[in-house]
Amino acid sequence: MIEIFNLKNIMILLGAFICSALVGRLVLPQLKRLNAGQSIRDDGPSSHLVKEGTPTMGGIIFLLTLCLGIPVFGLLNIEGLLLIFSTLAFGLVGFFDDYIKVVKKRNLGFTALQKLLCQIIIAFVLVFVQSKSKELSTEIIVPFIQSRWDLGAFYIPFIIFVVVGTVNSVNLTDGLDGLSSSITITVAIFFALAAHALNHPTIGSFALLLVGSLAGFLVYNKYPAKVFMGDTGSLALGGAVAAMAVLLQLPLLLPLAGGIYFMETLSVILQVLSFKLTGKRIFLMSPLHHHYEQKGWHEKKVVKAFVLTSILLCVLAYLFLIYGVVR
């Protein structure tokens, strides 16, 4: 594990952090000038009303850093290109949605169906290119039984489901200052360690580039946030996380390492089903982070608890990987 912290990777972490923090100083005034302020939902927590007008679309900050870092650190092989494609393509969907709603001041951006179709197309391109590349495998690792499965004809639809589900799960997690960015830092560290263990240096370097970029973004996104990442950032992060899991053949470990994302999604699904079937709600509010806010937790406490949980889940996922696959 110590070998991952070599000079190159330390430079990636520090360089991405400094670059992201500097880019933030340049981008934030531009977002304010565009009047790209966040609208707060009427049915959300009342404590969030003070955030009305906070600049959004801040995901541009770490996306610009990633775009600079990919060529600078020599990550332009097939893995690096697919990683940045997935990140930027999903981020672009989020950007157009944010731009329509926030800058053009239209209440609705993309419809849910339009957004879903865009996500499916991007996921298909990702998995199609991967499946046709001689350098990349389409098997998936089953760490619990120390095996690898070739899903054959089911591989493409399965991976599309994983990618689209992950992207939307990360999107749902972006509801508190610093929550999605902090959770994704812990998940990206897991993927950096997993990539090192599985001998995928490009993916490991990309994961560390993402960690540094998000750490720099947190300078502005931590409580009280000066900027929100918006769909521009949250969909991009979902694309990055999903692509790392797919290229490392670890989609079956993703629900564990990214457990917070999936608990947030499950809380929304259960809430909707319960209300439609019984007329009663399971949670005080969904996604899950709002439930704890309604119970009286300060959002800083919610973020700390969720990040700690994410760290524990990532440690558990790494142990499954090391003792179930590598050995």
259-273, pLDDT tens digit by residue? 999 999 999 999 999
Determine whether the annotation assigns residue 231 to a binding site: yes
Domain contains 73: yes
Q: What is the DSSP letter of 52?
A: T
- Which among 178, 301, 169, 177 has a CA at the least distance from the CA of 242? 169
Please report the pLDDT score of residue 291 as a whole number: 92
- When divided into structural domains, the chain yields a total of 1
Which stretch, 46-55, 61-70, 284-293, has highest mean pLDDT? 61-70
Residue 305 pLDDT exceeds 80: yes
pLDDT score of 272: 93
Q: What band does 2 get if pLDDT is binned at 50, 70 and 90?
A: low
pTM: 0.92
What's the rounded Cα separation, in Å, for the pair 242 and 164? Answer: 8
| Residue at 59 is within a domain | yes
Q: Evaluate whether residue 36 is within a structural domain.
A: yes
Under 8 Å CB-to-CB from 274, ≥6 apart: which residues?
A: 280, 281, 282
* 177 known ligand binder: no
Axis crossing angle, helix 201-221 with helix 59-72, rounded to the nearest 10: 150
Q: What is the pLDDT of residue 61?
A: 97
**Candidate ranges 77-81, 112-116, 289-293; pick with highest mean pLDDT:** 77-81
* Contact yes or no for 107/100 (Cβ under 8 A): no
Distance, CA of 52 to CA of 228 (rounded, Å)? 11
List pLDDT tens digits, range 80-127.
999 999 999 999 999 998 888 776 666 556 788 889 999 999 999 999
Residue 323 scores a pLDDT above 90:
no
Helix, strand, coil abundance in the chain, percent, nearest 5: 75, 5, 25
142 contact partners, CB below 8 Å, separation of at least 6 = 148, 149, 252
Q: Which residues contact 69 (CB under 8 A, 6 or more apart)?
A: 12, 15, 16, 19, 75, 209, 213
pLDDT digits (tens, 9 = 90+) for 132-191: 998 888 889 988 776 788 888 899 999 999 999 999 999 999 989 999 999 999 999 999
Over residues 218-233, the mean pLDDT reads 94
User: Residue 28 falls within a domain, yes or no?
Assistant: yes
Q: Can you spell out the DSSP letters for 81-106?
A: HHHHHHHHHHHHHHHHHHIIIIIS--
pLDDT the model gives residue 1: 54
In this structure, is residue 289 part of a structural domain?
A: no
Q: Is residue 107 part of a domain?
A: yes
Assigned domain for 223 exists:
yes
Residue 158 placed within a domain = yes
Domain extent, residue 55, equals 2-141+153-252
Query: How does pLDDT run across 16-54, given as a tens digit for each residue?
Result: 999 999 999 999 998 888 766 555 555 555 555 556 668
Instruction: Write down the pLDDT at residue 54.
Output: 86
